[in-house]
């Protein structure tokens, strides 16, 4: 490469000068007789070799043809390779002809000169950039392998000797611009040297310029531009991007998309170094992941939040499309199951028996607790109670306690014992949200009400017999509340002892009842006190009378004979 450079440059320069002289004096269709072009050793298909310019030809009628079948010439004069063309050390020659409506044909020989260094700019390849100060050229890109483990310095390009009349300076990235100290030029040999390892992920390419000056005139004659491309090696493992937190509804159908695992690789794009394969290390019994896209989907419809709320799966990402020599990384992804209303509320008891007094209203009669497995404090968990049967007259109402989720059953209109002494309701427990993903239905239970008559005795005494007694012991209740059998305290306690006190009974007395009991006792006590007082006074009076009679009547003598006594009498 080397010593042919300047002779070829000379021919190109002479051809260009000759063309400039002809332009001013020739009016007929004209082509250069020869044209030198420096090309790479292998010309790829579609490569523009040169651009042929005609002088004095009719632009509308001129026809350009190329004699080499490996090339074609376009209407704008661009010579383009049709196939891959190999250029030997001796070069390659083909001709281009031009003919316009004058009928004259002009021919030009195109000389392809192989070079590992020099090529013309894509837009002007084959034409010298004429400048009063310097000529600019693009060199074929060179390449270096990142993280090269061999010895340094390493020759990456041989520019050849530029003779003793010229001096070359190198500049650009890796030389005098950041990062400095990567490249240097041996001016004696023309070798471009790599001084240390480079990292493609930090700098994928370097742009370097070579300025050639005439030693005698200090005039810059040529400027060469070189791009050094850093070849990638697989030195970066793939990395996960974004949080691996996903949510999917419970009991969703198989094939439902859970989420997408995103990953990236810092190595060179469009290579196997960044071709990532996704796999599940664990959790494949319920989930699967697409090996190329990273999309996670379900494989079953049995995911149940009430059994397991969160599922943790291990994801593996590996470059080289999962090849054994590929670099990999693993991480865990959490898949949370969102709640659906697949569990209806269930009652704690199968039925309830309640006693209610007639004429009562706006009174809480019963709390009905329920259980619900769905997510607490959501519409799937919140209960809604409905009286579905037995409340045709509107005597009852039921609401939900927002704190406990219990049903609160109230009597809203009084009941009349003479008209109705037994009422049966049907209570249905629902949710605020509709059932979803379940074949279950809303549950209902019966609530039996026994209406208790309020009689005169109970009204007077203010008694209250607990509803639990009346509910659990109907015979006793009937005995106590029968309108034909008067209820007394002795009867109440005798019945309690007759049943061996199996059921606790509570009797409470009102003020009137207490007064009724205490008044006779107080009266008897007063009578007793008066009687005692009277007796004491009577005794004291008798004793005083006995003391006065002894002073006036003579006492009998013990010595007197019975006859004397009788005589005295």
Is residue 410 within 8 Å of 368, Cβ to Cβ?
no
- Looking only at the bridges linking them, the beta strands covering 191-194 and 295-298 are unpaired
Which helix or strand (DSSP H or E) is residue 112 part of? strand 105-114
Q: How is 454-513 classified by DSSP, letter by letter?
A: --HHHHHHT----HHHHHH-HHHHHHHH-TTS---HHHHHHHHHHTTT-S-------HHH
Q: Which of 231, 194, 237, 185 lies closest to 212, judged by CA? A: 185
What pLDDT does 110 receive?
82
Give, in degrees to the nearest 5, the angle at Cα 109 between 103 and 115.
Answer: 155
Residue 440 CB partners (closer than 8 Å, separation 6+)? 342, 343, 344
pLDDT single digits (tens) 412-429: 999 988 888 899 999 999
Q: How many helices (H) and strands (E) does the chain have?
A: 7, 36
Q: Which two tokens stand for residue 241?
A: 């991007």
> What is the residue-wise DSSP string for 434-458?
PP-S-----EEEEEEEEEEP--HHH
- DSSP characters for 227-242? EEEEE--S----EEES
* CA-to-CA separations, 400 to 217, 360, 368, 375, 389, in angstroms, rounded: 103, 21, 9, 17, 18
Structural contact between residues 427 and 447, judged by C-beta atoms closer than 8 angstroms: yes
365 CB neighbour count, 10 Å cutoff: 18
Whole-number pLDDT of residue 441: 93
R_g over Cα of the chain: 60
What's the CA angle centered on 397, arms 466 and 357, to 5 degrees?
Answer: 30
- pLDDT for res 547: 53
- Torsion-angle region of residue 298: left (phi > 0), alpha (psi -120 to 50) or beta? beta
Q: Which residues contact 12 (CB under 8 A, 6 or more apart)?
A: 36, 128
Per-residue confidence (pLDDT) for residue 137, from 0 to 100: 77
Q: What is the pLDDT of residue 114?
A: 66
Report helix, strand and coil shares of the chain as percent, to nearest 5.
Answer: 20, 35, 45
Q: How many CB atoms lie within 10 A of CB 100?
A: 19
Q: Are strands 245-249 and 328-338 parallel, antiparallel or unpaired?
A: parallel
**pLDDT by position in tens, the chain (length 569):** 333 344 444 444 444 444 443 333 334 566 666 666 777 788 888 888 877 777 667 767 778 888 889 999 888 888 899 988 888 877 788 888 888 777 778 888 887 876 544 443 333 333 333 334 456 777 788 899 999 989 999 998 877 654 567 778 889 999 988 999 999 988 777 788 999 999 999 999 999 998 888 878 878 888 889 999 999 999 999 999 999 999 999 999 999 999 999 999 999 999 999 999 999 999 999 999 999 999 999 999 999 999 999 999 999 999 999 999 999 999 999 999 999 999 999 999 999 999 999 888 899 999 999 999 999 999 999 999 999 999 999 999 999 999 999 999 999 999 988 888 899 999 999 999 999 888 889 999 999 999 998 774 454 444 444 444 344 444 444 444 444 444 444 444 444 444 444 443 444 445 676 777 888 888 888 888 888 888 887 777 766 565 555 444 444 444 344 444 333 33
- Quote the pLDDT of residue 4: 39
């Amino acid at each position: 490469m080397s010593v042919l450079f300047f002779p070829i440059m000379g021919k190109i320069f002479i051809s260009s000068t000759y063309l400039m002289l002809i332009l001013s004096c020739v009016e007929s269709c004209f082509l250069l007789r020869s044209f030198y072009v420096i090309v790479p050793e292998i010309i790829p298909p579609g490569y523009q070799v040169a651009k042929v310019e005609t002088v004095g030809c009719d632009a509308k009628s001129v026809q350009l043809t190329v004699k080499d079948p490996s090339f074609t010439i376009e209407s704008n004069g661009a010579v383009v390779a049709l196939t891959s063309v190999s250029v030997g050390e001796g070069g390659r020659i083909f001709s281009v002809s031009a003919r316009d409506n004058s009928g004259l044909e002009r021919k030009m020989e195109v000389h392809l000169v192989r070079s590992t260094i020099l090529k013309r700019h894509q837009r002007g390849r084959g034409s010298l950039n004429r400048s009063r100060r310097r000529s600019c050229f693009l060199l074929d890109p060179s390449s270096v392998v990142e993280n090269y483990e061999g010895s340094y310095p390493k020759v990456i390009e041989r520019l050849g000797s530029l003779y003793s009349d010229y001096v070359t300076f190198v500049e650009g990235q890796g030389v005098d611009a950041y990062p400095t100290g990567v490249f240097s030029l041996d001016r004696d040999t023309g070798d471009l040297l790599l001084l240390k390892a480079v990292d493609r992920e930090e700098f994928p390419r370097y742009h370097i310029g070579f300025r050639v000056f005439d030693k005698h005139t200090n005039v810059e004659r040529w400027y060469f531009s070189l791009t050094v491309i850093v070849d990638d090696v697989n030195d970066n493992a793939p990395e996960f991007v974004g949080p691996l937190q996903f949510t999917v509804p419970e009991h969703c159908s198989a094939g439902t998309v859970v989420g997408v695992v995103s990953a990236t690789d810092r190595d060179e794009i469009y290579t196997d170094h960044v071709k990532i394969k996704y796999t599940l290390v664990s959790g494949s019994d319920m989930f699967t992941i697409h090996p190329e896209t990273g999309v996670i989907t379900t494989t079953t419809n049995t995911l149940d939040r009430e059994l397991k709320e969160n599922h943790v799966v291990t994801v593996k990402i590996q470059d080289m499309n999962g090849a054994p020599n590929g670099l990999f990384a693993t991480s865990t992804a959490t898949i949370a199951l969102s709640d659906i209303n697949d569990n209806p509320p269930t009652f704690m008891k199968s039925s309830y028996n309640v006693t209610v007094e007639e004429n009562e209203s706006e009174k809480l009669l019963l709390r009905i607790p329920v259980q619900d497995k769905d997510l607490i404090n959501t519409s799937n968990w919140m209960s809604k109670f409905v009286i579905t049967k037995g409340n045709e007259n509107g005597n009852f109402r039921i609401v939900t306690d927002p704190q406990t989720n219990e049903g609160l059953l109230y009597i809203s209109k009084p009941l009349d014992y003479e008209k109705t002494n037994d009422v049966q309701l049907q209570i249905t427990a629902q949710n605020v949200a509709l059932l979803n993903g379940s074949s279950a239905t809303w549950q209902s239970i019966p609530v039996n009400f026994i209406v208790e008559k309020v009689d005169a005795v109970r009204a007077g005494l203010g008694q209250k017999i607990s509803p639990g007694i009346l509910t659990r012991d109907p015979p006793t209740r009937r005995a106590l509340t029968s309108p034909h059998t008067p209820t007394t305290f002795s009867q109440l306690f005798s019945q309690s002892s007759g049943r061996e006190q199996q059921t606790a009974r509570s009797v409470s007395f009102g003020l009137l009842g207490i007064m009724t009991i205490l008044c006779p006792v107080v009266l008897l006590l007063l009578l007793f006190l008066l009687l005692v007082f009277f007796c004491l006074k009577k005794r004291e009076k008798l004793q005083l009378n006995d003391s006065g009679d002894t002073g006036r009547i003579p006492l009998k003598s013990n010595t007197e004979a019975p006859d004397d006594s009788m005589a005295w009498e």
